Chain A
Amino acid sequence: MSSTVMLDPTSELTPADRQILPRLETLKDATVGLLDISKPRGKEFLDEIEKHLISLGATVKRYKKPTFARVAPKELNQQISVECDAVIEGLAD
């Protein structure tokens, strides 16, 4: 942990830990991004996920990181945030 401690400026009605964004209530009519991190066989795995998502009514868009060793480029993050309601990142080993 960092040595920096700050005092909470809020009413403390919500937990101190940062909260995850609201989850989608339905996949119907949602656009879901599938991010391939460029590890071998990721494509085959994501192909199967895509079939499931489509069967649940979602639209699927596919994306790919240039290399699994580095974080996704800013432009790719921005593109996904504009085009998708949710994203699934395929981490694998």
Chain B
Amino acid sequence: MTQLSEHQFTVVIKKDCPTCEMIETVLAELIATYPGKVTIYVQDDPSFPESIENKIDDTSLEFSYRNNIEIVPTLICSSESKESARTYGWDKAEWRRLTNLSSLGESLDSFKPGCGSKTLEPGMEEQLIARFDDKLLSSRNIQLADLEDDAEGCYERGWSDGLPVIPPTRVRVIRMLKGTDRSPGEIIGNIPPDNAPCTIEKVAINAVLAGCKPEYFPIVLASVQAALQDKFCMHGLLCTTYFSGPVMIVNGPVVQQVGLNNGINALGQGSRANATIGRALQLLIRNVGGGVPGGIDRAVMGNPGKYTFCFAEDESDADWSTLAQDRGFERSESVINLFAGEGLQPIVDQKSRDPDSLARNMAASLRAVVNTKLYGVADAVLVVCPEHRRVFREGGWNKDDLKNALYDNLMTPGSELILGAQGIAEGMPEKFENKVIGKFRDDGLHITSTGSKAGMFSAIISGWVASGERGSQLVSQRI
């Protein structure tokens, strides 16, 4: 029974509630006064209260769920199956007013708060939605065979990147959707390479597969929107024979809120948020977009970051602009940046104590992006470690000073770079022979900062050889 009965009064109680126990005499009085007009629903033990007959078993919680019971006891007054009033807990004056019984509960105190409804126990709401709300989700149900292992079933259906996934049950997907206010049926965009329409619900299912917590879900959604920006060229990035994949760099308050790692081993293993947020986008592209290695994904080698590559920026230096600020956002905003990149090339410098020396060293290492003789084809992200950042700050440099020095130091005579120069066939076209050229296009070198406080090791995330307007550009999306 899910509709309010024709009875005038409905009371929802549970045994595990001292207030419900206390009002047993009140219920008896109510039933005696209004025979056949009172319905009692019991959430936990249908034998309770013993002195009252004809209670209704609501251990399934269907009535409580459908009638939004938040506290027990709840008294609902109704006429013609429509609710007219309700009160909860024991408020003697209110119960007397609603029941029109001026002496109801005479021997009881005037007020005693109730207990939480079982429908609100942690983890229960998703169970109830999964059980009783069949309109919320529209994805196809996949029923496992007898004795079929759920984790193996995910592998066999091709949903995994090779690592185990969390089986996407209805309850887990509903729980994930609690991470956003957006409707499950809303289309977030068409996912390449198949350009298949993708709902918020599909993103949630893949976030479950990836192992995300619901609190990560807004970041995952923002990553999908970023990937779908035309400037990012997700389709081409997926199809390329080159190594690259999406690299996520997260800025803003959300980093602390969800525990994204921007300290020790920030680009390594060990952080659930880093690992699963990056993975969710890749699984979505695989499962909804149809981007499968050996199919549309034609990478010669790929790179380990195509499992997941997500980290957060260390924003502890207020005078060193964040990547999001460089992209026009405020420090107070949470932002995800997506870069088409791969790998990690270290820059070791434990000797430089002045900014100029350190910048020269970084520039020399940056020259190796893609190929020491190929200029202007690939963007890069320079990841400055906190100790190197300190060298710049103590030398009076800010990020712009560093960027300008890098561009200056990377200006190179074309004669060193053209085809055949240095005895290497690969290189720049001969038309550059008498020019001095820069390694990166104007918006092609991005600087971020992360990692532990100790150790003078920065790094380069090399970009896709199809960087820039002809391919992919770094994109940013507010979370």
| Cβ contacts under 8 Å, B197 to chain A | 11
Asked if A26 is at the interface of the complex by the 8 Å CB criterion, the answer is no
Q: Of all chain B residues, which has the CB nearest A10?
A: B287
A6 to B149 CA separation, bound complex (whole angstroms): 12
- In the assembled complex, A2 has its CB within 8 A of some CB on chain B: yes
A8 on the interface (CB 8 Å rule)? Answer: yes
| Cβ-based interface call for B344 (8 A) | no
Q: By CB atoms of chain A within 10 A, which of B140, B154, B173, B288 has the most?
A: B140
Residues of A within 8 A of B198 (CB): 11
Q: Contact between B153 and A6 (Cβ–Cβ < 8 Å)?
A: yes
Q: Is the CB of A5 within 8 A of B142?
A: yes
Contacts of A11 in B (CB 8 A): 191, 194, 196-198, 202, 287-290
**In whole angstroms, what is the CA distance A5 to B143 when docked?**
5
Task: Check: B147 CB closer than 8 A to any chain A CB.
Answer: yes
For residue A34, give the distance in angstroms from its CB to the closest CB of chain B: 26
Q: Are A8 and B167 interface neighbours, CB within 8 A?
A: no
Please name all residues of chain A whose beta carbon is closer than 8 Å to the beta carbon of B196 when the two chains form the complex.
11, 13
Listed in ascending order, the chain A residues whose CB lies under 8 Å from chain B are: 1-2, 4-13, 16, 18
Contact A10 B159 (CB under 8 A): yes
Do A13 and B167 form a contact, CB below 8 Å, given A5-B141, A6-B150, A8-B142? no
B163 at the interface (CB under 8 A from A): no
| Residue in A2, A4, A7, A13 whose CB lies within 8 Å of B137 | A7
Q: Which residues of B does A touch, CB under 8 Å? A: 137, 139-148, 150, 153-154, 156-157, 159, 167-170, 173, 191, 194, 196-198, 201-202, 205-206, 209, 283, 287-290
Instruction: State the Cβ distance, B388 to closest chain A Cβ, in Å.
Output: 41
Task: Give complex CA distance A10, B292 in Å.
Answer: 12
Is B147 within 8 A of A9, CB to CB? Answer: no
What is the minimal beta-carbon distance from A3 to any residue of chain B, in angstroms? 8
**Which residue from chain B places its CB closest to the CB of A12 in the assembled complex?**
B140
Contact B194 A7 (CB under 8 A): no
CA distance A75 to B249 in the complex (A): 45
Name the residue on B nearest A2 (C-beta): B144
Q: Which residue of A lies closest to B209 (CB)?
A: A9
The answer on a CB contact under 8 Å between A6 and B290 is: no
Tell me, rounded to whole Å, the shortest Cβ–Cβ distance linking B153 to chain A.
7
Given the known A-B contacts A1-B146, A11-B290, are A6 and B154 also in contact in the complex, defined by CB atoms under 8 Å? yes
In the A-B complex, the 10 residue pairs with the smallest Cβ-Cβ separation, listed nearest first, are A11-B196, A2-B144, A8-B140, A9-B205, A7-B139, A9-B287, A4-B144, A6-B142, A10-B287, A11-B288
Known contacts A9-B206, A11-B289, A16-B142, then 6 further A-B pairs from the complex at CB < 8 Å, ordered by chain A residue = A2-B146, A5-B169, A7-B142, A7-B170, A11-B194, A11-B288
B288 contact from A1, A7, A9, A18, Cβ within 8 A: A9
Query: Quick check: B137 and A6 within 8 Å, CB to CB?
Result: no
- Name the residue on A nearest B203 (C-beta): A9
Nearest-CB distance from A21 to chain B (Å)? 12
Question: B159 contacts A9, CB within 8 Å?
Answer: yes
Nearest chain-A residue to B159 (Cβ)? A9
Q: List 26 A-B contacts (CB under 8 A).
A: A1-B144, A1-B146, A4-B144, A4-B148, A4-B150, A5-B143, A6-B141, A6-B142, A6-B167, A7-B139, A7-B140, A7-B142, A8-B140, A8-B141, A8-B142, A9-B206, A9-B209, A9-B283, A9-B288, A11-B194, A11-B287, A11-B288, A12-B139, A12-B140, A16-B142, A18-B156
Q: Give Cα distance in the complex from A71 to B242, angstroms.
A: 42
B219 → A minimal CB distance (Å): 19
Q: Which residue of B lies closest to A4 (CB)?
A: B144
Would you call B145 and A1 a contact (CB within 8 A)?
yes
Residues of A contacting B146 in the complex (Cβ-Cβ under 8 angstroms): 1-2
A20 vs chain B, min Cβ distance (A): 13
- Knowing A4-B150, A4-B167, say if A9 contacts B202 (CB, 8 Å): yes
Q: Is the CB of B139 within 8 A of A8?
A: yes
Nearest-neighbor residue (CB-CB) of B202 within chain A: A9
Per the bound structure, the CA–CA distance linking A9 and B212 in Å amounts to 14
Contact assessment for B287 and A1 in the assembled complex, using a CB-CB cutoff below 8 Å: no
B residues near A16, Cβ cutoff 8 Å? 140, 142
Q: Is the CB of A8 within 8 A of B205?
A: yes
A residues less than 8 Å from B139 (CB atoms): 7-9, 12
Contact of A7 among B145, B150, B169, B191 (CB under 8 A): B169
Query: Are A2 and B143 in touch, CB under 8 angstroms?
Result: yes
**Cα distance A4–B172 in the bound complex, in angstroms:** 12
CB distance from A27 to the nearest CB of B (A): 25
Closest to B195 in A: A11
Bound CA span A4–B169, Å: 8
A6 with B194: CB separation less than 8 A: no
CA distance A92 to B191 in the complex (A): 48
B283 pairs with A6, CB closer than 8 A = no
Q: How far is the CA of A26 from the CA of B239 in the complex (A)?
A: 30
With the chains together, A3 CA to B289 CA distance in Å?
29
CB of B317 to closest CB in A, whole Å: 40
Residue among A9, A13, A18 making CB contact with B194, cutoff 8 Å: A13
A12 to B139, CA, bound (A): 8
List, in ascending order, chain B residues with CB within 8 A of A18's CB.
156-157
